[in-house]
Amino acid sequence: MGTGNIVGVTGAICLGGPGAVFWMWVCGFLGMATKFGEVTLAGRYRVKVGREFLGGPMYMITRGLPKRLHFLAAVYCVFGVAAAFGVGNATQVSAVAAGFHQILRSLGGRETLLGDLGLGIVMALCIGGVLLGGVRRIGKTTEKLVPFAAVGYILLCLLVISRNLTALPGAFLSIVKGAFSPRAVTGGAVGSLFSCLSVGLSRGIFTNEAGMGTASMAYCASTGEAGVEMGILGILEVFADTIVICTLTALAVLCSGVAIPYGLDAGPRLAVEVFRHAGGAWASVALTVFLCIFALATVLGWGLYGTRCGQFLFGSRFAKTFAYAQMAGVVLGTVMKSQTVWLLAETVNALMAFPNLIALVLLSGELKQMVTAYRQKGRKGD
CATH number at residue 37: 1.20.1740.10
Angle at 358 between CA 50 and CA 347, to 5 degrees: 90
Separation of alpha carbons 40 and 234, rounded Å? 9
Taking each helix axis as running N to C, give the angle between helix 281-314 and helix 71-85, from 0 to 180 degrees, rounded to the nearest 10.
Answer: 150
Count: domains in the chain: 1
If you average pLDDT over residues 306-334, what whole number do you get? Answer: 83
pLDDT tens digits, 7-62: 889 989 998 999 999 999 999 999 999 999 999 999 999 998 877 888 999 999 99
Whether 382 shows a pLDDT value over 60: the answer reads no
Residue 221: strand, helix, or coil: coil
* Of residues 204, 180, 187, 160, the one with CA closest to residue 261: 187
Domain assignment of residue 285, given as a range: 3-381
Is residue 95 a contact partner of residue 268, using CB atoms and an 8 Å limit?
Answer: yes
DSSP 324: H
Is residue 274 a contact partner of residue 235, using CB atoms and an 8 Å limit?
Answer: no
Q: What is the mean pLDDT of the chain?
A: 85
Is residue 209 a contact partner of residue 218, using CB atoms and an 8 Å limit?
Answer: no
Listed in sequence order, the residues at least 6 apart from 301 whose beta carbon sits closer than 8 Å to its beta carbon are: 88, 138, 142, 214, 218
If you average pLDDT over residues 355-362, what whole number do you get? Answer: 94
Is residue 314 a contact partner of residue 144, using CB atoms and an 8 Å limit?
Answer: no
Whether 97 shows a pLDDT value over 60: the answer reads yes
Give pLDDT, residue 166.
93
If you average pLDDT over residues 350-376, what whole number do you get? Answer: 91
Per-residue pLDDT band for 369 (boundaries 50, 70, 90) equals: very high
Give pLDDT, residue 74.
95
Give pLDDT, residue 350.
78
Give pLDDT, residue 342.
65
- Per the DSSP assignment, residues forming a β-bridge with 98 are none
Separation of alpha carbons 47 and 49, rounded Å? 6
pLDDT tens digits, 198-228: 888 888 887 888 888 888 998 888 777 778 8
Give pLDDT, residue 106.
66
Give pLDDT, residue 156.
93
Rounded to two decimals, the pTM is 0.84
**Quick one: CA dihedral 312, 305, 340, 114, positive or negative?**
negative
> Is pLDDT larger for residue 326 or for residue 346?
326
Q: Which long-range contacts (CB under 8 A, 24 or more apart) does 192-196 make?
A: 195/15, 195/16, 196/16, 196/17, 196/19, 196/20, 196/23
Give pLDDT, residue 117.
79
> Is pLDDT larger for residue 175 or for residue 289?
175
If you average pLDDT over residues 89-114, what whole number do you get? Answer: 72
Listed in sequence order, the residues at least 6 apart from 216 whose beta carbon sits closer than 8 Å to its beta carbon are: 38, 39, 41, 42, 43, 55, 56, 57, 60, 234
Of all residues in the chain, the percent with pLDDT exceeding 90 is 34
Give pLDDT, residue 207.
83
DSSP 18: T
Number of H helices, E strands in the chain: 18, 2
Whether 92 shows a pLDDT value over 80: the answer reads no
